[in-house]
Amino acid sequence: MKNIAIPIVVSIVSSLITVSIYQSVFGNQSNHAEVRYRDRVPAKFATNINESPKNYPTISNVNEFTDAAFKSTPAVVHIKSPGKDNSNNELFDLGSMSSGSGVIVSADGYIITNNHVIDGAKEVKVTLNDKRTYNAKVIGTDPTTDLAVVKIKEKELGSRKLQALDYGNSDLVEVGQWVLAVGNPFNLTSTVTAGIVSAKGRNIDILEGTYSVESFIQTDAVVNPGNSGGALIDTDGNLIGINTAIITRSGRYEGYSFAVPVNLARKVAKDLIEFGTVQRGFMGVTIKDITNQMFEDYNLSSMDGVFLDKVNSGGAAEESGLKKGDIITFVNEVRVKSSPELQEQVALFRPGQKVKVIYLRSGKEFEIEIILKNASNGTDLDAQPIKSRFTKRETLLSEMGLEIRQLTDAEKRKLKTKRGIIVTSIRPGSVISKTNMEKGFIISTVNKKDVLSVEEFIDFVMDASGEVVFDGFYESYSGDYSYVFDK
């Protein structure tokens, strides 16, 4: 009995000590289980062996959402337009054709929205997040992407500067990442909902026309009538898409929403502002997705890529050397896994511009440059430019492959600087990317001239000839850095 009692006493004492330790460590926490995402993606899922696993916000601490919402809501507007009603469509287009949302993309009043929101109108009413209402003129529309641009009338806006959203890079958007949808469902001012990216490159066959482009970002963020033309943003508050459609049988949200990628929306908006019409470049091919039969017949190692079913005589693709049966896998260093993704990437360029294409032929990989053509098989643009201050900025930044914004007063205090603009995005394969500059670089000077604003930066680069030198620093790295390129 004595021998049995001793182990029992030891067990009881050990249990009491364990409970005591547990309560001292966890005693102040709720009894409810806390659901969290992994703090890090396992290393085996990293996209590059030398790349650090990515951080994801926990469900219980998503400050990124509040910051992004605070930044984006002033830049999303409500739009009223005399128009039609298409709300009985099975592929519900987010509300009646006479009401929707829009995204401010420049301080002087340019706004991107959907074509179906303002279809047939010459003027619309725009209500800002602070409830001020203005009249706006329709600058241009593009039914092939369901996008449009309107501009608040200068005489009404006066000298007031609006808060615009910074552009993100939709090519870098990943399935599974957090996103927010910002819009005006049911005429409510700037409603924000959260979700994740469910898929990319979705074609849901809602746009008509031979040259329509559907390569939607699919999300499960809740969107409802009135969200059309609103913003899809990342957790940094950058614009990554224009909310356009949902699939529903009830007329309300059922878990499937679709947004035009911002890279495409930005290019279309730029064309409409600069020319009044979209300047589309074409390769001159008929394409198909890879099928199981093609996979076997061509002895492929992957079903990613786009099969060239026909190469038009005299077209851009034929002149570059492409042939029927070739499989395109990359356009300008962006992987294309499907026909919609290829159409999206080509739609980012104008006639006469070059795109770099990587393709497979007989199991071997080749790289070429294609000079895109217009619908008439020439390289001329379809219209003369319309003079615009906005155009000057957008054209320059697009050519460099650079996104920038002003430093906020808080950032200037933190960084102990009174000058500089920050780089928010760099397009892969662009002039700037080849200098090895990284996102987050703070440009202090251009050719030794102090940069105090985005406008000054644009002017200094425009005036430069030959070599252009950007001097500056990073918040995360010590020391000063210089990047040089030839203009």
Active-site residues, by number, are 116, 146, 228
| Distance separating the N- and C-terminal Cα atoms of the chain | 93
Which of 117, 157, 113 lies closest to 134, judged by CA?
157
Tokens of 142: 């593009």
Which of 428, 445, 439, 436 lies closest to 475, judged by CA?
439
Distances (CA, A) of 222 to 57, 253, 362, 421: 19, 6, 45, 34
Amino acid present at 436 = N
Contact 241, 201 (CB under 8 A): no
- What are the start-end ranges of the E strands in 43-146? 76-80, 99-104, 110-113, 123-127, 133-142
Distances (CA, A) of 454 to 70, 101, 240, 422, 423: 22, 27, 21, 9, 11
Contact 431, 454 (CB under 8 A): no
Q: List, in order, residues 6 or more apart from 292 with CB less than 8 Å away.
A: 303
CA distance 443 to 450: 9
CA distance 254 to 135: 34
Amino acid present at 76 = V
Q: List, in order, residues 6 or more apart from 188 with CB less than 8 Å away.
A: 226
* Residue whose pair of structure tokens reads 């002017």 in the numeric block: 459
DSSP single-letter state for residue 187: G
Tokens of 256: 């499937």
CA distance 288 to 485: 39
Which of 329, 384, 114 lies closest to 225, judged by CA?
114
Phi/psi of residue 366, each to 5°?
-130, 160
β-strand 216-219 against 76-80: which pairing, if any? Answer: unpaired
Which of 69, 61, 62 lies closest to 191, judged by CA?
69
Contact 487, 470 (CB under 8 A): no
Phi/psi of residue 379, each to 5°?
-110, 5
Opening angle at CA 65, ends 147 and 191, nearest 5: 50
